[in-house]
Structure formats: structure tokens, C-alpha cells
Structure 1
């Protein structure tokens, strides 16, 4: 499975401007709603916040992987984002998060959803990949890196 199969260029955000968890989730969500106007942004945001209430998706080492399931989705959507400044995402290690992957999935695709989360986790354990992710100088460069992953 390739991450690029579930990611679109418009959903690669090379420079997040958010300074809080809520702002980051809203910023990651905005291009998804733009591409899928039938989605209710408030509903999706609430699903993500409910998931965060169960336990942070800021997994540490500068990485956050917010995710949620929605009945209104018909396919898995992945958004990648990067924050050069880093922001407090209530990460397990209490360090700012700089690398974000948001995964939204229909309620009926649990297996695929988990495989995508596992693939993202594997990629982000690779220090070379993380360095390339942070050093890519444009949306195009990030897209090329991610679509091959």
C-alpha cells in the first residue's frame, strides 16, 4: 500500500500557520471541505476533537496523526501538513508537533484505516524520511516525496 493512493496534492499543506491544536485541526480540515463541499466542517471538527478527548494523537517526536471516522465519507482522505514553528498538540512527550497527518475514514473501512495509520507510523520512524519531509522546499517537493511513499 502506498500513502500516495490516499493523498491528493491539494491536501499537502507545506506551511501551517496554526498555533493551537484546534487551529491546526481546522487548518488541516479546510482543504478537505473545499474539495468535498457536502461535508459538514463542524461535524468533522467535532469528530476529530472527540477523538482527541479519548487521548491525544500527538504521538511524540514532533508528530501528530489526528484521525476520525465519518458516516458521510465514501473514501479515506489523508491530509499532510507541516509547521516549521511547531505547536502544542498535547503530545505524549510534551514537545511541539511539526509533522501532521490527518486521516479521515468512512465508518465501514476499519482495516484499511488501520493499515494507513500503520503506514504513516512506519514512514515517520524513518529519520531520513522525516528530514526530507521537513526540508522539502515547496508543496510540489512534499507532494513528490509523499506520493512515492
Structure 2
């Protein structure tokens, strides 16, 4: 039972899915920051916003006042996303890739094994040569 659980956890699909969920959650923060930092202020250029005192880049609006682009929130979300992505990569992805490489090396599977196989064209040439050799009266 423990071995089955270990095999389940160590499958690449589970780790990849977990990484995708974490990155997706971090990316959600980036998307929310883009919306609140860029899209919402663009809308506020044409409609007078409430004065909520959000710091950012003030831009003159069409209606005569100013609109503030809260770029600080966006930069904070981007830094947060990059930090989460770096931690996930170095704590989960990189060690898992090393583990997979070691397991493949123990099993004797080499990544170069596929490259050493002949190409389809080389195989067809070999087949042609064998057919010619067998069809010739001397048999070489």
C-alpha cells in the first residue's frame, strides 16, 4: 500500500499538476493586479472614480480630473509571482527532474538511445540494398 502511494506521488503527472496549480494561483494574483492596475483606471479615465487615495501614476482624465494608475500593486503581484515560481521550480521541479534522471540512469535508459536509432530513410535504404542483394543471381 505504501509502495503504491509512493509510485502515485512520484509519477510526473502528479508533480506537474501540483506545480500547475501553484503557478496558476500565483498567476491569478498577476491577472487581478493587471485588472485593478490598468484596466480599471482606463475605465476611470472616462468615468469619474471615487477618491480612494490609491497611490500610483496620475494621468489627466477626459472629464477634467486625474486618474491614478496603481502600478505598485502590479509590481508587487509580479514580484510575488516570480518568487513563487522560483521557489516551486527549485523546491519541486528541479529535484524531481534530478530524481527522474537518476532513476533512468539506474534503469539503464539513456536519453541518447533514441538518437542512435537509424532514421526511417536509413532503414529504407538498408531494406532496398537487402532486396537487391537477394534478387541478384550471384547473391553477392
Larger relative strand fraction: 1
Give yes or no for TM over 0.5. Answer: no
TM-score, L = length of structure 1: 0.20
